Amino acid sequence: MLKISKYTVIHEVEDGVLLYNMKNGAQIFVNNEEEKLKGDLLSLKKKDCDNIENDIFKKAFCVPDDIDEVQEVMASYYKQMFDPTNLSFIIMPNNICNFRCKYCYQEHGKKVISDENIDKFIKAIKNYYYDHGLKDFYIEWFGGEPFISFDIIKKVTDNLNSFFYGKNVRYHYGATTNGSLFSKDQIEYLLNNQFDFFQITIDGDKETHNSNRPLSDGRPTWNIIFDNLKTFNSFKEFDFHISIRVNYNNETFAGINELFDAIKDNLDSRFTVFFHTIGKWGGENDEALDVIDYSIEPYTTVMLMEEAIKKGIEPLTNYNYYNPFKRVCYAGLPYHFTLGSDGKLRKCNEEDEELDKFNVVGTIENERIEFNLYKWSRFVLPNGKIELENKCKECINLPVCFAQNCPKSRIINGNNRCPNDFIVTSEVLMNKYNYMIKSIRRK
């Protein structure tokens, strides 16, 4: 006997029905013209799974009727997440930046991670490999602006690449960078040395971006960044992904097509876009920032996604957010740590004296990754405890969010704030479908 999965959603639109399941990530669009599936669709709508003939429908949207799906979902979390052979880091080599973005929340001092801490980190990774084994290893460089410290990045990369070479480990790297400091040789070095992901922010058209993200001496940055993207694009033999992040507010909309046209005319499908509202993130200009109202943010993001798709540009990061596990913040991942410029191991990448009381969970002081179990548990257990909140047990988004959307704010506030954009899941997945159809037709 079967029952409909509690994570199945049936969303009807004019020309068909979108079916999806938040637990297994199945997403299927059934066009009104699909005569063969009409009977099965009707059975699914009536929650009558035993009368469904199509095997894919049954597997994707139904479950045996004696299953406790919440328990199954939580078991999937522990099985997938608590794998010590899957280790990742954010490293902040410095807190220095050559930009002065209007909305920046970071303090820019002159902190640079010491050679001693870098050596300890490299030794800690090697020791970890011998102690626990590794299947997957990833570093994301962050800052400040990480490429101000290119020499540090190169030292770590060269060292670890030669250590991992010939071992059965998938090792790769990425960076969140303002994208302004690359030479062609540096780009070539990175692509030749296992760097396969970059997040680079361009806030729309030249005028809007240059006013949001000037250099520290006030000069504009749009052309500098875009020229570097074109250089990346010229390396056709490498498979990498650059997510162009657009931090937006009301001022961004009018000129957004200028950015889309530049992407479409100059960059290939390795470049995607990611829309995120500008927020009052704790910087000194917060009061003066024009931000989009929290309650309408999800809808404005969907609008921008639609505009990008019309131009054939993929808002990949935005719609990936609705797949299983994708809303677990990296601070919630058990075997993920942030190495600060002070050599401490944090979970959330924010550095702040107050936060550090619970956010600093460990150290590499002894050339090993050592952490405090209780502090760690507050980040890595769903809900930070052995029990979920009742609202999460009932929630259809549990397999995506696991009450791990922002462990930092949960620890501070004592409860989980739900992401505001699950109300547009169906619209986002329709966008994804529309993009797929458009790109199939283009081929």
CB 319 within 8 A of CB 305: yes
Q: Does 416 bind ligand SF4 (CB under 6 A)?
A: yes
Q: Which residue stretches of 135-221 are H helix? A: 150-164, 184-192, 206-212
Pick one of 12, 136, 350, 356: the residue that binds ligand SF4 (CB under 6 A).
350
- The answer for residues whose C-beta is within 8 angstroms of residue 103's C-beta and 6 or more apart is 212, 247, 278, 279, 280, 281, 283, 285, 286, 289
Q: Does 408 bind ligand SF4 (CB under 6 A)?
A: yes
Q: Does 380 bind ligand SF4 (CB under 6 A)?
A: no
CB 268 within 8 A of CB 223: no
Q: Does 206 bind ligand SF4 (CB under 6 A)?
A: no
Residue 268 burial by CB count (10 A; 0-12/13-18/19+): exposed, middle or buried?
exposed
Pick one of 92, 333, 398, 429: the residue that binds ligand SF4 (CB under 6 A).
398
Determine the size of the site formed for ligand SF4 (CB under 6 A): 20
As measured in angstroms, the least distance from the Cβ of 321 to ligand SF4 is: 12
| Of 178-186, 226-234, 388-396, 427-435: span binding ligand SF4 (CB under 6 A) | 388-396
Q: Helix axis angle, 256-266 relative to 222-234, nearest 10°?
A: 30
From CA 159, how far away is CA 141, in angstroms rounded?
Answer: 16
The beta-strand segments (E) located in 290-366 are: 336-339, 344-346, 360-363
Q: Does 247 bind ligand SF4 (CB under 6 A)?
A: no
> Terminus-to-terminus CA distance in the chain, angstroms?
43
From CA 112, how far away is CA 110, in angstroms rounded?
Answer: 6
Look at strands 2-4 and 62-64 and give their pairing. antiparallel
As measured in angstroms, the least distance from the Cβ of 332 to ligand SF4 is: 7
| Of 190-198, 240-248, 270-278, 345-353: span binding ligand SF4 (CB under 6 A) | 345-353
Pick one of 134, 244, 345, 348: the residue that binds ligand SF4 (CB under 6 A).
348
Q: Does 395 bind ligand SF4 (CB under 6 A)?
A: yes
- The answer for residues whose C-beta is within 8 angstroms of residue 353's C-beta and 6 or more apart is none
Pick one of 223, 227, 391, 437: the residue that binds ligand SF4 (CB under 6 A).
391
Q: Which helix (H) or strand (E) holds 28?
A: strand 27-31
Pick one of 328, 392, 424, 429: the residue that binds ligand SF4 (CB under 6 A).
392
Q: Does 397 bind ligand SF4 (CB under 6 A)?
A: yes
Nearer to ligand SF4, 22 or 187 (CB): 22
Q: Does 346 bind ligand SF4 (CB under 6 A)?
A: no
Q: Does 256 bind ligand SF4 (CB under 6 A)?
A: no
Q: Which residues bind ligand SF4 (CB under 6 A)?
A: 329, 331, 348-350, 391-392, 395, 397-398, 401, 403, 405-409, 416, 418, 422
